[in-house]
Amino acid sequence: MPSSQSEIAPVLFVGAGPGDPDLLTLRAARALAAADIVLHDRLVGPGVLALAGPQATLIAVGKEGFGPSTPQTEIIALILAFARAGRRVLRLKGGDCGIFGRLDEETGPLAEAGIGYEIVPGITASVAAAAAIGQSLTRRGRNTGLRILTGHDAEGFADQDWRALAQPGQVAAIYMGKKAARFVQGRLMMHGGDPATEVTVVENASLPHQRIVATTLAALPGCLEDVAGPAVILLGLAPRAAALALPELKEALS
């Protein structure tokens, strides 16, 4: 066991990206190969976990909206205990650590304990979803800003600046929004949102079983009824025709 806090290796908080192992950063892959302990979220897939070194112990500490979850206090206790025992700890989070990843809730106790940490950013799901439909998240003449929202928070459905979001040309990426879809739809239309506003749902972004559902604000809740996997709702964006044809083209060439 290390004799002082200065000998404790910094804990690495690593973004695992949207799911496809090819979208993991080189630094993240190197960190995975060197880690002793990998505490990973539920949505981190086997392809990414396979990059951990043979010496690594993999521990699932996942959370599921409205479902079973590992208590945050337990996750923090594990991080602290393994770090103090001199292990090289890697906390692996889906997407990017700093976007709805409870990063501050885990780095705060480390700072209070005098244990260092580093953050390795990852590609967040909204970026992968926009790439999947052949669109950019910002475009001159359309939207000069992008909102990244959560469908629900610790208090329930998350409130937003609905009046601003309802304006024409706005683009927002909504995470964890499946169960909140009717709430989001109602709030936007209540504040003047056009029912014909283009919306795209990207399920399992970047993965082989990715699915793209093009819809409108008026039809949004209904189109989510059979969406079982993690999904990003892209408000204000429609897929380009070329993006929708790409899976068929890949299948024809295989």
- Residue 186 forms part of a structural domain: yes
Does residue 252 sit within a domain?
A: no
pLDDT band at residue 186 under the 50/70/90 scheme: very high
CA distances to 57, 66, 143, 175 from 31, in Å: 14, 31, 37, 27
Note the pTM of the prediction, 2 decimals. Answer: 0.89
* 130 and 208 both lie in a single domain: yes
- Among this protein's residues, is 93 annotated catalytic? no
Q: How many residues does the chain have?
A: 254
Question: Would you call 63 a catalytic residue per the annotation?
Answer: yes
- For residues 22 and 69, state if they share a domain: yes
Question: Parallel, antiparallel, or unpaired: how do β-strands 89-93 and 37-40 relate?
Answer: parallel
| Statement to judge: residues 154 and 98 lie in one domain | no
- The per-residue pLDDT for 178 is 94
According to the model, what pLDDT value does residue 138 have? 94
User: How far is C-alpha 148 from the chain's CA centre?
Assistant: 11
Residues 99 and 158 in one domain: no
CA distance 37 to 90: 6
Catalytic residue among 20, 36, 63, 194: 63
Same domain flag for 141 and 202:
yes
| 101 and 132 co-located in one domain | no
Q: Compute the distance between CA of residue 75 and CA of residue 40 in angstroms, rounded to an integer.
A: 10
Q: What pLDDT is stored for residue 246 in this prediction?
A: 57
Within 10 angstroms of residue 207's Cβ, the number of other Cβ atoms is: 17
Count of structural domains, the chain: 2
Q: Which of 68, 94, 120 is the last residue of a domain?
A: 120
- Same domain as 64, residue 30: yes
List the beta bridge partners of residue 216.
198
Residue 253 lies in a domain: no
Q: What percent of the chain has pLDDT over 70?
A: 90
Arithmetic mean of pLDDT, 159-183: 95
What pLDDT does residue 130 have?
A: 97
Residues 9, 114, single domain; the answer is: yes
Pairing, β 37-40 against β 117-120? unpaired
String of DSSP letters for the chain: --SSGGGSPPEEEEE-BSS-GGGS-HHHHHHHHH-SEEEE-TT--HHHHTTS-TTPEEEE--B-TTS-B--HHHHHHHHHHHHHTT--EEEEESB-TTSSS-HHHHHHHHHHTT--EEEE----HHHHHHHHTT--S-BTTTBS--EEEESEETTEEPP--HHHHTSTT--EEEES-STTHHHHHHHHHHTT--TT-EEEEEESTTSTT-EEEEEETTTHHHHTTT--S-EEEEET----HHHHHHHHHHHHH-
- What domain range is 143 assigned to? 125-247
pLDDT band at 185 (very low <50, low <70, confident <90, very high): very high
- Read off the CATH number of the domain in which 36 is found: 3.40.1010.10
Model confidence pLDDT, tens digit, residues 197-237: 999 999 999 999 999 999 999 999 999 999 999 999 999 99
Look at the block and give the residue holding tokens 């068929």. Answer: 248
CATH value at residue 165: 3.30.950.10
Task: State the catalytic residue, choosing from 20, 22, 36, 41.
Answer: 41
Regarding whether 243 and 133 lie in a shared domain, the answer is: yes
Give residue 64's pLDDT band: very low, low, confident or very high (50, 70, 90): low
On whether both 155 and 194 belong to a single domain, the answer is: yes
Are 191 and 221 in a shared domain?
yes
Question: Could you say which of 120, 151, 172 is where a domain stops?
Answer: 120
Q: Is residue 197 part of a domain?
A: yes
> Which of 105, 120, 135 is where one domain is finished?
120
Asked whether residue 16 falls in the same domain as residue 60, the answer is yes
What is the model's pLDDT at position 158? 85
